[in-house]
């Protein structure tokens, strides 16, 4: 048997009217969205402009107040610097009256304070007693700090235990050591040595180094 094929049919084409309507709907929707976006943008801009305007107004008011304060301060300082001539003249105005009497030369000499008598020089014992009396109590004797020697060289001889330095221009040396070194010419001392602990001693001989 021979089967008859069905005839070929074309697909239905869309209606141009329906396509135009869809495009119009999409275009209207897009325009509405753009209108809303533009409206929101304008509202934000208006709000920002109003905020800036209020801030600018408050700033202008503050600047005006500062200008007024500066002007008042300058005026007050100017008034302080001005001299009141009336008060000044009243201070220096002359007054008629008796002149204050001046002292004669003899009266001035009598009114001058008398010079204090300088204390006389005391002996070593008196000075020690005077110092103790000022302090109000006797000084406590310090313990012996031990041997205090200085290594030195005299006439080319190295000495490790010879001099006791007192911190002054006078040094102490053993008389026997001085004789061993060859010193023969000694002078009679006319001084007494007082140490920091107020102890005194009289040197046996005095050797003057040139």
Q: What percentage of the chain exceeds 70 in pLDDT?
A: 46
Cβ(56)–Cβ(62) under 8 Å?
A: no
Q: Does residue 10 carry a pLDDT above 50?
A: no
What are the C-alpha distances in Å from 59 to residues 42, 49, 62, 73? 26, 15, 5, 21
Please report whether residue 102 resides in a domain.
no
Please report whether residue 46 resides in a domain.
yes
For residue 35, the Cα-to-chain-centroid distance in whole angstroms is 70
Structure tokens at 166: 């007192």
Please report whether residue 195 resides in a domain.
no
pTM (2 d.p.): 0.26
The string of pLDDT tens digits covering residues 104-119 is: 655 555 555 555 545 5
For residue 115, the Cα-to-chain-centroid distance in whole angstroms is 45
Give me the number of domains the chain comprises.
1
Please report whether residue 84 resides in a domain.
no
Q: How many CB atoms lie within 10 A of CB 163?
A: 17
DSSP label at residue 182: T
Please report whether residue 24 resides in a domain.
yes
Helix (H, G, I), strand (E, B) or coil at 69: helix
Please report whether residue 101 resides in a domain.
no
Its domain, for residue 64, covers 20-74
Please give the pLDDT value at position 177. 77
């Amino acid at each position: 048997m021979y089967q008859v094929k069905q005839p070929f049919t074309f697909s239905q084409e869309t209606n141009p009217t329906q396509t135009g309507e869809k495009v119009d709907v999409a275009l209207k929707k897009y325009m509405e969205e753009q209108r809303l976006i533009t409206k929101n943008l304008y509202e934000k801009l208006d709000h920002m402009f109003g905020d800036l305007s209020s801030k600018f107004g408050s700033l202008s008011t503050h600047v005006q107040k500062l200008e007024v304060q500066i002007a008042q301060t300058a005026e007050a300082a100017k008034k302080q610097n001005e001299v009141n001539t009336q008060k000044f003249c009243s201070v220096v105005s002359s007054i008629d009256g008796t002149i204050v009497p001046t002292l004669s030369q003899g009266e001035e000499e009598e009114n001058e304070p008398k010079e204090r008598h300088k204390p006389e020089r005391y002996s070593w014992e008196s000075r020690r007693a005077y110092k103790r009396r000022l302090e109000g109590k006797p000084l406590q004797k310090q313990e012996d700090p031990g041997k205090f020697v200085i290594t030195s060289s005299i006439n080319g001889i190295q000495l490790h235990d010879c001099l006791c330095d007192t911190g002054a221009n006078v040094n102490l040396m053993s008389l026997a050591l001085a004789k061993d070194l060859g010193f023969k010419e000694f002078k009679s001392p006319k001084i007494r040595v007082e140490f920091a602990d107020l102890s005194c001693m009289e040197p046996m001989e005095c050797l003057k180094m040139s």
